[in-house]
Structure formats: structure tokens, C-alpha cells
Structure 1
Amino acid sequence: MKTADVRRRYLDFFTRNGHTEVPSAPLVYNDPTLLFVNAGMVPFKPYFTGAEDPPFKRAVSVQKCVRTLDIEEVGKTTRHGTFFQMNGNFAFGDYFKAGAIEYAWELVTGSQADGNYGFDPDKVWVTVYLDDDEAAALWRGVGVPDERIQRRGLKDNYWHMGIPGPGGPCSEIYIDRGPAFGPDGGPIVDEDRFLEIWNLVFQTEELSAVRAKDDFDVLGPLPSKNIDTGMGLERTALLLQDVSNMYEIDEIFPVITAAAEMAGTRYGRDQQDDIRLRVVGDHVRSALMLMTDGVTPGNEARGYVLRRLLRRSIRSMRLLGVHDPVLPTLLPISKGLMEVSYPEVAAQWQRVSQSAYGEEDAFRRTLASGTQIFDVAVAAAQRENSSVLAGDKAFQLHDTYGFPIDLTLEMASEAGLEVDQQQFRTLMQEQKDRAKADARAKKGGAVNVEAYRTLRSSGETPFLGFTELTVESPVRGIVADGRLVDVARPGDVVEVVLDETPFYAEAGGQDADQGVITANGLELDVLDVQRPIQGLVVHKVLVNEGELTPGQSVIAQVDAPGRFAASQAHTSTHIVNAALRQMLGQGTHQAGSYNKPGYLRFDFNASQALSPAMRSELEGIVNAAIRDDFAVTDRELPLDEAKALGAQAMFGEKYGNVVRMVELAGPWSRELCGGTHVRSTAQIGLVNLLGEQSVGSGIRRVEALVSADAFAKFAAERALVAGLADTLKTQPEQLPDRVEKLLAQLKAAEKQIEQYRSKELLAGAGGLAAKVTDAGGVRLVAEQVSGVSGGDLRTLALEVRSALGGEPAVVALVGGGDKPVLAVATNEAARAKGAKAGQLVGVGAVELGGRGGGKDDFAQGGGSNAAGAAAALNAIRTAVAAL
């Protein structure tokens, strides 16, 4: 049974049983506590925590997930995968333990002819929480004998999110794979033979503090009993396909087969090679799915995880002996496998493939530069007569330069060295500990929502700001330091919830409104507006005058000019988005935006920079759309209908069944958007494009000024032109010719100065050549020359080399000032004796606190330690003498 069929059967089974099918959320999800969606219940978390009212009593989904904590275990076990899919059925105050167990038993053991999975009932084992007699009795009732029901403690059979929120005992379903996979005795004895496929969580309790998996405080019972289950799709598929591990299922194994063919090997021949091939199969698929959902390779957060996956794939293929590009062969295979279940893979393919192949090219260059840095470290170890490469050097190569530790180990072995792996692992663990501490800090700052939930229980905060900028409303509640309070006095900064509001809460890249909240004797400055939980608008305010109390009637008034300017900027981002898609193709999509009064920033995917002509074209299209006075309209409609009309959506944004679609001239621009806009594009006036730049691999950014700020920028530029024309005694239209002539004169003067400098350098070359010494049969000039750097140092080194004649000769010069520069030149006779400039400059650059590289005949480097000049030259002298 193919994996896609396993997935479809799960969805069909539960929809037949009254569950609403919910599409998978993107892997990049709008949750501050998560890097990626890592569990099937994540999109439903607001319903479990009470932050939102569920729109259905029963739901079913197959959720895309990524977990990276066990990335180093990928390929080594049967069940560790970076990307995986989680089948889940959910009930919110509807059926409970009996329903969940009966559904699970029917789907797992029912006949395949009836749409079930058809597992042998005699091979099914289950676990329940220690004192959950009810669940044990229910399992006996469907046919599981007592000897195949095992009880386990909190660590194994109690589930929570790792943060305050819902929790409860759980029951897990295992399939016995037979004695070939391990000893008998059930899951408590061996979880390789007895493979868990499904976890049924019975949510009953609200946790107030979570310190560990089995260490938490219970606040009290949940308002309703909920069901949250998770069935591992890949684990279920490997059993139904009768393969040994998840890497051999039909959605992964074809990539492994192709990788083995490229490497000239066969899967199953060598254990170490098999691990590398499984890493390739898993990581290529994981990278494909992350990139499809909008992640691009980078050096931080999500982008770093993706970059690591891609580079581990390439690294593994290199260790298998493949040094040519591999992604153009392997990634399309994974695409063909995954687009069956996820059509978005095909829709985003052009963007994904361009970014992936560009990342591979960049990494191949990193490997080349990393090799040079590695050579410097090896030279330093050899100079100290050490057989060990320091662990901090290996960590620097890994962490700073992206050079994989496996390659470092391999190359060190070839050089006759060992790597201090203990020090390397210590440094890696310290880095992981810092990352975990940061993640815990983020979680801790995002979970105290009890006061908000209390206020939300009275209903949503209607946003009236699309039509009203002044609204009279009662104060629903006041929050200070996460707690509800009864009063706020002058000087206090608190959060205020109104029954209804005209203030726009920051969202969709648009800044929050500012303004005031007033009443008789009361004045509050609105500093910020947010939605900490769905449906609740919270105003951060400074109390200037009077006392604020719950129930008090106030007047909320938005700063009208600021709102209008923000609307101008927001509509302008829609115009920029449409213009870029018109220029670059429909595969172009928004990767982020920010707008505030007078300014916009828009990020988009692109494989290369916009040329000056393209930037001019973009600005022209945008301002033409403003001049043509397109009508800006909005309407609410079902999500599927909006998508069918071509409405653009943001990756990671959460949309309900009914969405708001903003249109500019109808189909010219259609986007799902909850922000505020002008009524027609002519109200914007003008957009002045400031520039375009890269903000990550495959992501570009344009910035622009809007309306009055754009006019002011043009006025300032006009004044600048007028001032330059006056200074240069010419007309504005003649400035280009005048500046060109001045540049030509400057260039001629610089050329003449350069000729004088060259003569002076050449005159000094003879004096340096006279300082030649013998180093093991090689004529060596190793000197420090003050006031010479850059191209001059190169010229001097080459001239001295020429002056030394045809006998073996090496020239090493240190110049520069506070940041020393090192140049090394060798002649043909010296190179025949093994004197390579690239290696020698690396030896010297270490003493300068830097690095360097180049060819065998000439190389250059530098650093920050000027005091190390003498040591650098001595190190080179020692290395030359040892040839």
C-alpha cells in the first residue's frame, strides 16, 4: 500500500465518521513558540487551550511536520526522520476514550477491502497510563487481551506540550514485527520489534507549570474533555509495505536508489554507506517540503536548519565519492514522489529548484574555501609536532564556515592527524544548550495567556476600524504584568481590552494604529495594539491623566492622519507585489513585508538581483497603477473560492474558512489581507523606490517611500542636484558630462601617482633582494615592509622574486598597518622542491590572527594581530627550511 494511499484511507475513514477534513498547515506556522510545526495538533492548539472556539466538534488531518532535535540520529535508526506526516483525529468536547479507541481499533484491524489497514489483531499491543483502568477495560472490550495491554508511567503515557496548557494520559498502539526485530515481551521490553504507530491522548487537565516530561503542576480540569491523536504515517507505511525502516518506503527509497547509482554502490552492501544514503533520502525530501512552504537557505533560525539539511545531503554524497552536483538529479525524484499528496510541490517547483541548486553551488565553493582553512590548521599542528587537530579548530570550521565535521575527520586522517572530538563535542553541546535555553525563554514569554482567555470568554473584540476611527466602548478589562487588575493610575503602562475598537492591531506587516483613549478626566496614549490570542484586541497604553477602571465608558480615537498614511503604504505593498509578479512571473511570491506611515518594505523570492533597468521598470509600473486610479475593494468569501480566483496568500499565515480578499482593479491584484487600505490607488500619490538588496539566499528586498515622504525625498534630491550644479558651475542637465570629465581627470592623476609609486617600489626591490638568506637550500627573503599593502605589496613581492634569479627562491613580505597583510611568492625551482605559496601564506597568517590563500606561485593573506609579523615570517622560514 503506497504511502499516499495510507494517508487517503485515514482521511476517508474519519470523514465517513463525521469528522471535518482540515488541510495540513504549512510547516512555517504563525506560532512564536515553534520553529516549525512539529506535531499534528499544532494547528488545533488554540482550540485545546481555549484561546479560540473550535468551528467543528470533530476534525481529521494529515499534518506535515519537521523535527530537528534528532537530526544526528537520522539514518542510524529505523524511525528517526526530519520530515514526517502525522495522521490525527481530534474531538473537542465530543467523543472521548471509548470513541477514540473504537475508531482506532476498527481502522487498524479492519479489512483493507473495507478501506482499513488490515493489521493482524493478534499482533497489536497497547499501553495505557498506570491507573487508567477505563482505557484498559475499553481495549479489552474491543478484543485486546490483558497480556497485550501494558501500563507505563508519566514519561511514556502522559502527554503535554512541554509548556503550560492541556495535558492528559495517553494510550499507544504498537505492532509486533516479529522475533527477527528483537526480543519478545511487548513495548516495555523492545520498541524496535514492537513499533509504535498511534498515540491516543485523552486531554483532561490544565497544566500551570511544566518542568519536565514527568514533572508538572496541574491547575485543574479542562472545561471539556478532548481527544488528540497522532498516527505516524511513515511508520504505518513501512509496516504495510513490509520494509525494514521508514527510509525504505515508497516516498523516500527511490531517492536512495538514485543516490546509490550515482555513487556506484548498492544499498545494503555496506552499513556506513547505507547510513549516508538514508541521510540523503531523508534530507532531500525534508528540504523539498521546507522550501515548498517558503523557507529559504540562510544563517539563522529556519533558514539555517534548511541549509544544514541540504549541506548534510551534499556532504553525505561527497563521502560516498560523488563530487559533482547531486541535487539536480535527486530533488526532481523527490518532487515526483511528494506532489501526489501535496500539489503545492509542483506549483512551487521553479522557485524551489532554483534556490536549492544555488545553495549547492554555494556550498561547493564553501568546501573549496574550507579546505584552505583546514590546510592552515593542519600546518599549525604539524609545526607544533602535534598529531591532533584541535577541537576548537574543527568547531570553527563547522560553525563559522559550514564545513562538516565528517569531512574534517576524513581529511585529518588523510593528513595523518586525529581530531580532538571530545573538545569538538563539548563546544557543540554548549551551542545546543544555548539554543535550548533560548527556545525555553521564547516559550516562557509566550504562554501566560490566562488573563487574556478570561477576557476572551466574554466574546471577540469587534474591529470597527474599517469604517470608524472613533468608537465609544466600555472597558472590558485591564491587564498588568499578566494579571487582571482593578485600576490603572497616571504613569502606569497597562494593557486595556475594550468591548469593541477602531484600533488596528499589528498584523500582516502593517504597524498598529496609534491614538488616544479618553473619558471625563481620563487620557490614555495608545502605544501599541496586538492580538495575543485569536479574537482579542489588546491596547498597550500609558495613563496620562485620571484613573482607569473596568466597566468605565471611554472614547477610543485613532490618529486619522497616521491611519491614512499607513493605509497608503499597505496598499502600495499590494501594488509592488503585483508589479513584481508581472515582471518576474507568477512563481514570484511574497516572503515578508512591513509598512508604516510613509514607508514600505517588501521581500520576495528571486534568484538574482534586479538590474537598474528593472528597478526603474518596477517603479514605473507601481506609479502607473497609482496614476490610473485603480479601485481598491474588499469582500469576504470562502477560502476555496478566493484561491480559485487566484488570491495570493502568505506562507505561515492562518486563514479561516471565510477570508477577506482585497482587490485592486479586480484581477490586477488579489490578496488575502486583513489590513487597512485607501479607497483608490490615486490616494497614494507617489512611490519612490529607495533600493533593492539581498536579505538571504533566494530572497530579495525592495524598500520605498510613500506619498508625502516620497515627495520629500524627491525634493531633497532636486535640492542636491541644484547644489552640485552651482558648485560645479554648470546646468543641472549638464552634470553627467561635467562629472564624467572630472572623473577622467582624477583617473589620470591617480595613474600618474601610481607610476611614481611603482618606480619607488621597484627601487626598493633591490634592497630587499640583498637581504636574502638560505633556508634549506632555498633562497628566502622574509621581511616586514611598513607602509606597503594591497596591490603594492603584491608588486613588490613579485619584483623581489624576479631579482633573485632562477635558483629556488621564496619571498615573504608582511606589510600593512594595524591590520597586517602577508604576501608570499615562489619561483618555479622552489615549487619543484615543494614550496607552495598557498600553503606558506596559511602558515604565516595563523600568527597574524587571520587566514589566507591563493595559488602555488603567489598567495596573499592577512589578520588583525600586527604584533605577530615577526612570528609569521619565522613560521614561514621554518616551513621552507623543512622542505
Structure 2
Amino acid sequence: MDTSEIRRRFTAHFEAGGAWGAHTVVPSASLLLDDPNLLFVNAGMVPFKPYFLGQESAPYPRATSVQKCVRTPDIEDVGKTTRHGTFFEMCGNFSFGDYFKQGAIELAWDLLTKPVADGGFGLEESRLYPSVLAGDDEAAELWMKATGLPRHRIVGLGRKENYWSMGIPGPGGPCSEILYDRGPEYGPDFDPATLGPDMPVELEDRLLEIWNLVFMQDELSAVRSKEDFDVAGQLPKKNIDTGMGLERVAFLLQGKQNMYEIDVMYPVIARAEELTGRRYGADKVDDVRLRVVADHVRSSMMLIGDGVTPGNDGRGYVLRRLLRRAVRSMRLLGFEDRALPELMPISRDRMGETYSELVTDWDRIAQVAFAEEDAFRKTLQAGTQIFDLAATEVKSSGGGVLTGDKAFALHDTYGFPIDLTLEMAAEQGLAVDEEGFRGLMAEQRQRAKADARAKKGQHADTSVYRGILDAHGPTEWLAYETLTTESKPLALLREGLAVPVLGSGEVGELVLDRTPFYAESGGQAADAGRIEFDGGVLEVLDVQRPVRGLVVHQVRVLEGEVPADVRELHAKVDPEWRLGARQAHSGTHVVHAALREVLGPTALQSGSYNRPGYLRLDFGWTTSLTPEQLRDVEQVSNEALRADLPVGWQYMTLTEAKEWGAIALFGETYDDTKVRVVEIGGPWSRELCGGTHVDHSSQIGTVVVTGESSVGSGNRRVEAFTGVEGFRYLARERDVVAQLTGMLKAQPDDLVSRIGDMVDRLKATEKELEKVRLAQLLAGAGEIAGAARDVGDVAVVARRLDGAGGGDVRTLATDVRARLDAGRPGVVVLLGVQDGKVSVVAATNDAARAAGLSANDLVRATAPHIAGKGGGKPDMAQGGGTDVTGVDAAVEAVLAEVGRVRGA
């Protein structure tokens, strides 16, 4: 049974529902959701989390889905076990206060054991072992009732295996896993009645968990660990959250050994076999590498499909790591050419049967993936050189361990996977400080998490807002219809707590029953304006939606004081602000359409921000735009404005919007039942958008593109001004041109050539001055060489040079060394001081090196005195420092080092 049929049967089973009621089939959400605690959706329940947490009311009592998931902690284990994969699909059924334990058990058992001819999976009952939380007699009884199994077939496991929580106070509950006995070839015989509380390691491959039923019933007040927590009481509504691993069921039903051999993954392995000449099953090490290739190629494709681009942190780093591990594995298998263009289309063809967007968006996906491989191939060459230098430095100092910071720098700066660094170090006879490397990686992850939490702002704890919503219902939001409303206050808050009054100058939060203010979303900044009442005025600083349906205004009291029980308020949006915001948001859509017209349909928006008069738009693209392309984007945009294209919007289902050709922003979550599609000029620009817009494109005024830059590998950013701000920008440029024409006594059309001539003359003059300066510098080389001091049998030049930079010092050191007597050992160490920094260069002649003196050691001798570092080869080395006060001591250290080596 192929995976597409497994998906179909799963959703069809729950859509029918039987005695427990039909389930709403919910399409898979994007792998990217707005959750500060998650890089990616890592479980089927994640899109439903607001319903389980009580933050939002579920729109249906029961649901089922096949959700795309990515888990990153197991990357190192990919390919080594039958269970670990990065991307996977989780089949789930969910009950929001509807059926509970009995329904979940009966529905799961029925699907697993129902004959294939009747729409089930036809698994043998004798191989299935339900497990329950030890002590959950209710669940055990329900299993026996539903299945007819004897009590000893119901396995009791401890909290580690069979209790679910989010790791923080909140909902939790016991679990019931369904285990499949794969047979004695996968582990020793066992007695189910004696298992527990922990699953023996030797049985993890034999008793394969294929489905987990979570009975969400407890309110947890403290969670100290997975097995140590306090239960404060029962949840007001009991919920069901289940997950059946699609890949695990697939390799059972397809008679395969593991998930890498199923129909949607093995074709990649087969192609890798053809390319490398290796055979799957012939060598354990090669098998792991081939599995890594199959998993990482698929996972990378799915991440790029949902809008991730390679980068050095967060989601981008995970994608970069996956792509590079796949490429590296192919190289270790002996394939040196570009691998992804050969492998990823195979995965597209298999996964595209279910996820059609992989096919329709293939050009963009391929562009991102293949560009990353090309960059990594260059990185391997450059990074290998850096590694060789680091390894040489370690060995020359007598060490045997590459430090954690060196390994981290190779990883962070050059994209070297740690396993590559470990392998290359082993080849050089070196170890790697893995603990230090892991510590630096952990610090980086903590910083990323802290940044993500900070970006969530003051609405991280939504319980107070949820309480307001439950008590008063949703805000009547009128931003599309009007700029003013007569409103009543529902809540007055300061620092998350209700207050009776806000005094003059104080900042707090105000919730109204109705509002005309646009709340920040979709990249559009919140409206500005005022809220007036009898006796006072409030300035609106920000407007947010901390929970769906509730609009919260952050306000500052300008006049009077506002009591919580004030009867009536007059809310007024600043009309100039709103006009500028409408121009900027519609301008963003225009620039996006222009980019796609100039660059092609793969230039898709990946993020945006607009405020009155200004917009920035991020889009997937791997190279910088040329000046000509930027001019073309600006011209196409302004031609659209001049054409006075009509701007309109209408509501439809998400499916209808996609069929209509509307573009959705990567990573955004949209309502499945109703979305708003904004179009400019009909099909020229159609996007899902909840922002405010002009009525005709001409009302944008102007679009002035001001620049383009990189915001990470595979992602570019265009910035522009609109409306009055665009004209102001052009006026400033006109003023600059006027000043230059006046200064140069030239016409505007002649400015470029005149300034170009001036720059050429300036460069030529600088070169002549450099020649003169260098000649003066070298003129003193003879005098410096003549002042060499004898340290034993060595002629030593060690001195300070004020005003000399690194290049000067190196040139002079080389010249002075050439002037020393070649028949005796000679050493030159010069310390240049310029702009508060020290540059050190050491040079030795052949006789000095034969006498045991090394330029590398001499530079190192200066380092502690100038707060610096450095190194190099025995004949020439250089370094630098930041402590100018230690230069004289560094000179003395050089003399002492020569004396130590020569016994003088």
C-alpha cells in the first residue's frame, strides 16, 4: 500500500467517523508557524494548539489531518535507526471536548485492524500491543472492551513513555501507545505483562510505536521534568490528540525494513546508487550515508517549498545543515559533481503527487537548493584551507586538540558540519574539543530563542486577553469601513493587570467594544491616532491582536486621566497616517508584481513591512539585482501607477483563492473557510492580504526604489518610498545634484563624467604619494639594519615604528632582513603603531632558522604584552594587538626569546 493510499484511507476513516461522528478534514498547515517556542511544526497537534490551550474556540468539535512535520534534535541519528527522520508526516485525529478515551481507542483499533478490502490497514491483531500509563486502569479496561484482548496484552509503561505535557504548566494527560511486534529478528522474546515502567532498549526496534493516543485531561501546575510534575486538577474540557506516523505504518505495510525504503524515499537512494556506484545493503557505513541523502534531500525540498532559505541561524541554519550534509554524504560516497540537480527532482516527483505546490513552484525551490550546493562546493575549498592553517597552528604549538572555538568558527563562518571537522581532524591525527563546540552551539541557540521571545513583545501571556474575549466577545473591527467610531471601554490594563484609572502621562492598554484602528499584521504597521473622552485625550501608540478576535490599543494619556468606567470614547484614526499606510501597502503589492514581471515568477515575496511612505519587501533570490533590474522594477511599478489600475478585494475560501492564482505569503496561517484576496489590475497582482489599500493604483502617488540588499542566503530585500515621501526623496536628490553642479560649474548631464575624472586623478595622485612614502620608508631600512643588536651569535633588529601600518611593517621587515649578513643568524621583529593598534611582523634568515629560531615563536612572544595574537611560518610571521602601552615590553620579550633559544 503506497503512502498516498495510506493518507487517503486515514482521512476517509475519520471523515466517516461512524458512531463517534464525522471529523472535519483539515489540510496540512505550513511547516512554519508563528510560535516563539518552535522553529518548525514538529507534531500534528501544533496547528491546533490554540484550541487545546483554550486561547481560541475550535471551529469544529472533531478534526483529522495529515500534517507535515520537521524535528531537528535527531539530525545526528538520521540513517542510523529505523525510526529517526527529519521530515515526516503525522496522521492525527483530534477531539475538542467531544469524544474521549473510548472513542479514540475504538477509532484507532478499527482502522488498524479492519481488512484492506473494507478500507482499513489490515494489521494482524496478534502483533498489536496497546500500552497505557501504569495505573490507568480505565484505559486498560476500555482497550479490553474494544479489542477483546486479555489484560496481560495491555502493556503498562511509566510517565517517561506514556504521559504527555508541553514541558510547562498547562494541559497534560496520560497516553496510550499502539505497539507493533515486528518479530524475533528485531529483538528478543518478551512477556508483555512484565514490561515497564520503561521500554527496554533491546525491544525498541521490535516493539515499534506506530500510534500515540493522548488523553488530555489534567491541568498541570508545575512541570519539573517529563516524569516529575504536579496535577492541579482536571481540565474543564477533555480533549483527544493522536498521532500515527505515516512513514512507520508505510514501511510495515510495504514490507520494508525501515522508513528510508518506502515508496517516497527509496527512489532517491536508487539514484544515488547509480551516481556513486555503491550498493545499498553492501556496507553499513555507506547505508547510513545513503539514508542521510534520502532523508535530507526530501526534508530540504519540503522546507524550501514552505519558504525557508539557507542561512546561519534559526530555520535557515537547519536547512543549510541538511543540504550540506546531503552533499557531503554524496562526496563521501565518491560523487564529486553537483548532486542535488540529480536527486531532488526524484523526490519532487514522489512527494509532488500529494503536495502539488512542489511541482508548480519547482523553479524557485530548485534555484534555492542548487545555489546552496554551489556555494558549499566553494566553501569546502576555502574552508579546507582555513582548517589546514588551524591544524598546522595546533601541531606547531605541540598541541593535539583543535579548540571548540576553532571548530565553531569553521561551522559558523564556513558552514563546515562538525562531523566534517571531526573527520578531517582525525586524518591529521588531532582530536576536537567537541564539548567546547557544543557549548558555543548551545549559546547560539539560546540567543536565537531569546531573540524570538523578544520579538513576541508584551503579549506573550495571553490569558488576560482571553478572559476579556470570553467575557465580552470579539471586538467589532471597522478599519475597512471608517476612520472614527463611538466606542465603549471593555478593559483598562497596565503591565497586564486591570487598573481603575490611567493618570496623565501614563501608558497602558485599552480594549474597546468597537474600533476603527488597524492592528499591526501582514507587515503593515498599526494605525496612529487619538481616543478622546469627556475630560481627556489618549494618544494611540500601537494596536495589536494578542488573541484572535480581540483588538488591544496601547495608549498614552495626553490630557486628564481615564477611568476604567468611562462611558463613551471617540476613537479617531489619523487620516494622513492611514492614507500613507494605504499607499505603502498597495505599493508593496505593486513592487512585488513588478519584481515577478522583471525577474520571473520565482521571485516570490518572503516577508514585508510597510508604514506610511515606506515599504520593504523580502523575496527569494540568490543574486544581487543589477542597477538595470532595479530601474526596470521601478519603471514597471510607476507604469502601473500611471495606468490607474483598479484595486479591489473579495472574500473566498483558501482553495478558491489558490485556484484563482492568488499568492500567499510563506509561513502565514490563513483561515480555511474565508480569506481576503486583494487584486490590482485583475490578474496582474492577486495576493492574500488583510491590509488597507487605495482604490486605484494612481493614488499611491509614486514608487521610488532606494536600494536592494541581502538578508541572508537566497533572500534579497528591496526598499522604496511611496506617496509624498517618494517625492521628498526625489527632491533631496535634486538638491544634491544642484549643489554638485554649482560646486563643479557643470551641467547635470556632465556630473558623472566630471566626478569620474576627479576620482581617477585622485587615485593616480594617491598612488604617486604611496610610492614616495614607501621610498622614504625603505630609505631608512639600511639605518635600521645597521642598528642590529647582538644577542649571542644572532643579529637582532627589534624596534618600534610609530605611524606604520601592517603592510608597511611587512615590507620593511622583508627589506631589513635582506640587508643583514646572510652568513650569521639574523632576526627582524618590527612593531608598527598606528591608530591605537599594533602590527607585528617577524622575519628570520636561513641561518637563524638553522639555529632553531622561528618567526612564529617570536610573534607569539610579543602577544601577551600587546593584548594580541598572531602566527605564521618559521621564516615569516605576523600578528597584531590593541595595547600600545606594551610595545616596549614586547621588544624586550623578543630579545629574551632569542637569548633563551641561543643560551645567551
| TM superposition score normalised by structure 1 | 0.89
Kept in 2, the 8 Å contact 1:845–1:863? The answer is no
Kept in 1, the 8 Å contact 2:164–2:174? The answer is yes
Distance 1:645 1:74, change over 3 A: same
1:193 to 179, 182, 206: 206
Q: Is the deviation greater in 660-669 or in 249-258? A: 249-258
CA shift digits 1:299-334 (9 cap, x unpaired): 221112212222333333444455444333332332
Kept in 1, the 8 Å contact 2:651–2:677? The answer is yes
Q: Which residue of 1 aligns with 2:701?
A: 685
CA distance in 2, matches of 1:176, 1:68: 27
CA shift digits 1:415-464 (9 cap, x unpaired): 33333445445555566666678788899976532222222223221210
Q: Which residue of 2 aligns with 1:601?
A: 616
Matches within 5 A, 1:87-102: 87-102=91-106
CA shift digits 1:774-817 (9 cap, x unpaired): 99x99999987664546656766777798899999999977573
Following superposition, the deviation at residue 344 of structure 1 comes to 1.6
2:25 to 21, 24, 27: 21
Matches within 5 A, 1:241-320: 241-320=254-333
Q: Is the deviation greater in 198-207 or in 218-227? A: 218-227
Matches within 5 A, 1:45-444: 45-143=49-147, 144-183=149-188, 184-186=190-192, 188-189=199-200, 190-218=203-231, 220-425=233-438, 427-428=440-441
Specify the SS of the correspondent of 1:79. coil
CA shift digits 1:150-193 (9 cap, x unpaired): 23343332223334443322211110111222232347343321
Distance 1:640 1:393, change over 3 A: closer
1:571 aligns with 2:586: yes
CA distance in 2, matches of 1:265, 1:719: 68
Distance 1:846 1:368, change over 3 A: farther
CA distance in 2, matches of 1:372, 1:786: 34
Q: Which residue of 2 aligns with 1:8?
A: 8
Q: Which residue of 1 aligns with 2:466?
A: 453
Q: Which residue of 2 aligns with 1:506?
A: 520
Q: Which residue of 1 aligns with 2:677?
A: 661
For structure 2, the residue ranges without an aligned partner over 5 or more in a row are none
Kept in 2, the 8 Å contact 1:60–1:89? The answer is yes
Specify the SS of the correspondent of 2:177. strand
Following superposition, the deviation at residue 34 of structure 1 comes to 2.0
CA distance in 1, matches of 2:131, 2:161: 9
CA distance in 2, matches of 1:438, 1:688: 32
Distance 1:704 1:268, change over 3 A: same
Distance 1:133 1:296, change over 3 A: same
Q: What is the identity, as a one-letter code, of the residue corresponding to 2:55?
A: A
CA distance in 1, matches of 2:814, 2:177: 74
Q: Which residue of 2 aligns with 1:535?
A: 549
Following superposition, the deviation at residue 707 of structure 1 comes to 1.3
Q: Which residue of 2 aligns with 1:36?
A: 40
Identity %: 54
2:479 to 465, 473, 476: 465
Q: What is the identity, as a one-letter code, of the residue corresponding to 1:407?
A: L
CA distance in 2, matches of 1:654, 1:452: 21
Kept in 2, the 8 Å contact 1:476–1:551? The answer is no
Kept in 1, the 8 Å contact 2:856–2:876? The answer is no
Kept in 1, the 8 Å contact 2:66–2:89? The answer is yes
Specify the SS of the correspondent of 1:468. coil
CA distance in 2, matches of 1:819, 1:266: 58
Distance 1:109 1:553, change over 3 A: same
Q: Which residue of 2 aligns with 1:556?
A: 571
1:727 to 731, 743, 748: 743
Kept in 1, the 8 Å contact 2:312–2:412? The answer is no
CA shift digits 1:329-384 (9 cap, x unpaired): 33233222322221122223222222222222333333333333333333333333
Kept in 1, the 8 Å contact 2:530–2:571? The answer is yes
CA distance in 1, matches of 2:145, 2:665: 48
CA distance in 2, matches of 1:527, 1:765: 67
Matches within 5 A, 1:411-810: 411-425=424-438, 427-428=440-441, 448-457=461-470, 458-544=472-558, 545-550=560-565, 552-656=567-671, 657-760=673-776, 763=779, 787-789=803-805
CA distance in 1, matches of 2:333, 2:858: 32
For the aligned residue pairs, the C-alpha RMSD in angstroms reads 4.0
Specify the SS of the correspondent of 1:91. strand
Kept in 1, the 8 Å contact 2:101–2:215? The answer is yes
CA distance in 1, matches of 2:709, 2:29: 30
Residues matched between the structures, number: 879
Q: What is the identity, as a one-letter code, of the residue corresponding to 1:11?
A: T
Distance 1:842 1:67, change over 3 A: farther
CA distance in 2, matches of 1:583, 1:323: 35
Q: What is the identity, as a one-letter code, of the residue corresponding to 1:511?
A: A
Q: Is the deviation greater in 156-165 or in 339-348? A: 156-165
Distance 1:330 1:799, change over 3 A: farther
Following superposition, the deviation at residue 675 of structure 1 comes to 0.6
Distance 1:445 1:69, change over 3 A: farther
Q: Is the deviation greater in 125-134 or in 528-537? A: 125-134
Q: Is the deviation greater in 423-432 or in 502-511? A: 423-432
| TM superposition score normalised by structure 2 | 0.87
Specify the SS of the correspondent of 1:696. coil
Q: What is the identity, as a one-letter code, of the residue corresponding to 1:470?
A: T
Q: What is the identity, as a one-letter code, of the residue corresponding to 1:4?
A: S
Specify the SS of the correspondent of 2:562. coil
CA distance in 1, matches of 2:175, 2:331: 44
Following superposition, the deviation at residue 28 of structure 1 comes to 1.0
Specify the SS of the correspondent of 2:581. helix
Q: What is the identity, as a one-letter code, of the residue corresponding to 1:159?
A: W
CA distance in 1, matches of 2:185, 2:647: 67
For structure 1, the residue ranges without an aligned partner over 5 or more in a row are none
Distance 1:396 1:617, change over 3 A: closer
Kept in 2, the 8 Å contact 1:663–1:671? The answer is yes
Kept in 1, the 8 Å contact 2:841–2:859? The answer is no
Specify the SS of the correspondent of 2:374. helix
Specify the SS of the correspondent of 2:745. coil
Distance 1:846 1:232, change over 3 A: farther
Distance 1:66 1:796, change over 3 A: same
Following superposition, the deviation at residue 701 of structure 1 comes to 0.5
Specify the SS of the correspondent of 2:695. coil
Following superposition, the deviation at residue 702 of structure 1 comes to 0.9
Kept in 1, the 8 Å contact 2:584–2:615? The answer is yes
CA distance in 1, matches of 2:223, 2:455: 14
Kept in 2, the 8 Å contact 1:810–1:825? The answer is yes
CA distance in 2, matches of 1:797, 1:320: 48
Distance 1:785 1:333, change over 3 A: farther
Q: Is the deviation greater in 860-869 or in 777-786? A: 777-786
Following superposition, the deviation at residue 535 of structure 1 comes to 1.2
